[in-house]
C-alpha cells in the first residue's frame, strides 16, 4: 500500500534515454495521473522558486544566464562530471520536489498515479509507492538516442550516461522492468501487459 490512501502509486524510473517519459505517457493514456518529477526539478530552480538561492550560493553566479536564471547547461557541466557536486545539488532540489509531488498525488483526480523520476530510488520513493517500474535500454541505444534526439556530442552523451548509477541497481529494486530496445509499439505492448496484470481484475 502506498503512502497515499486511496491511490495506487507507480514509481517509474530508469537511466537517461531509456524511455521513462514515453512509458509515463502510455500509462496516462491507459488512465493514470502522471507526474514528471524531473520537470518539477526544473521548476523549483527557477528564479524566485525555493531552490534557486541555495543553488546560486552553492555553485556561484557563474551558473547564471544573462537573465539571472540558472543556466542548466552550465550547471550540468559542473555536476555531471562530479558526483559530490551532483549530490549537493540533489540535496537541495529533491526535498522541494517531494513537497510538490506529495501535493499532486493527494489532489490527483484519478486513483492510479505514476511518478516519473530519474532518481526515484535514490530519493526514497520505493517505500512510498505500491510498485516500482524501471525502464532499461543497452548503453549503445542510450548513446544513440542522446546524440540523435537531443543533439549531444558523443563525449557529452557518454558523460551523461556514465554519471548515472549502474542500471542493474535499478533493475534489482524493480517490481516491473520494461525493456525498451525495439519499436514504440513493442514498448506499448509491454506496458499494456503489465497494466493488465495489475489492474484487469480491479
pLDDT per residue as tens digits for the range 144-199: 999 999 999 999 999 889 888 899 999 999 999 999 999 999 999 999 999 999 88
- What pLDDT, on the 0 to 100 scale, is given for residue 163? 82
Q: Which superfamily does CATH assign the domain made up of 8-199 to?
A: P-loop containing nucleotide triphosphate hydrolases (3.40.50.300)
* Helix-strand-coil split of the chain, %, nearest 5: 55, 15, 35
Q: pTM for this structure? A: 0.91
Q: What whole-number percentage of the chain has pLDDT above 70?
A: 99
The whole-angstrom separation of Cα 166 and Cα 35 is 24
Residue 202's pLDDT is: 53
Query: In the structure, what pLDDT confidence band is assigned to residue 135 with cuts at 50, 70 and 90?
Result: very high
**CA 77 centroid distance within chain:** 19
Rounded-to-integer distance, Cα 130 and Cα 9, Å:
5
Alpha-carbon distance of 91 to 96, in angstroms, equals 9
Q: Quote the CA–CA distance of 21 and 34 in Å, as a whole number.
A: 10
- Cβ neighbours around 162 below 10 Å, total: 10
Residue predicted with more confidence, 83 or 35 = 35
Q: Where are the domains of the chain?
A: 8-199
Amino acid at each position: 500500500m502506498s503512502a497515499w490512501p486511496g491511490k495506487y502509486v507507480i514509481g517509474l524510473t530508469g537511466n537517461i534515454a531509456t524511455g521513462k517519459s514515453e512509458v509515463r505517457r502510455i500509462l496516462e493514456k491507459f488512465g493514470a495521473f502522471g507526474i514528471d518529477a524531473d520537470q518539477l526539478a526544473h521548476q523549483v530552480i527557477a528564479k524566485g522558486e525555493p531552490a534557486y538561492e541555495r543553488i546560486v550560493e552553492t555553485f556561484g553566479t557563474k551558473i547564471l544566464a544573462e537573465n539571472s536564471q540558472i543556466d542548466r547547461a552550465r550547471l550540468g557541466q559542473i555536476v555531471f562530471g562530479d558526483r559530490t557536486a551532483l549530490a549537493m545539488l540533489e540535496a537541495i532540489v529533491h526535498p522541494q520536489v517531494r513537497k510538490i509531488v506529495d501535493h499532486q498525488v493527494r489532489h490527483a483526480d484519478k486513483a492510479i498515479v505514476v511518478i516519473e523520476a530519474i532518481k526515484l530510488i535514490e530519493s526514497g520513493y520505493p517505500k512510498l509507492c505500491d510498485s516500482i517500474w524501471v525502464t532499461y535500454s543497452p548503453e549503445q541505444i542510450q548513446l544513440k538516442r542522446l546524440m540523435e534526439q537531443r543533439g549531444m556530442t558523443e563525449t557529452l552523451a557518454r558523460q551523461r550516461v556514465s554519471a548515472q548509477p549502474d542500471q542493474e541497481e535499478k533493475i534489482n529494486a524493480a517490481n516491473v522492468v520494461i525493456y525498451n530496445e525495439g519499436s514504440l509499439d513493442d514498448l506499448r505492448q509491454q506496458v499494456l501487459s503489465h497494466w493488465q496484470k495489475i489492474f484487469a481484475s480491479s
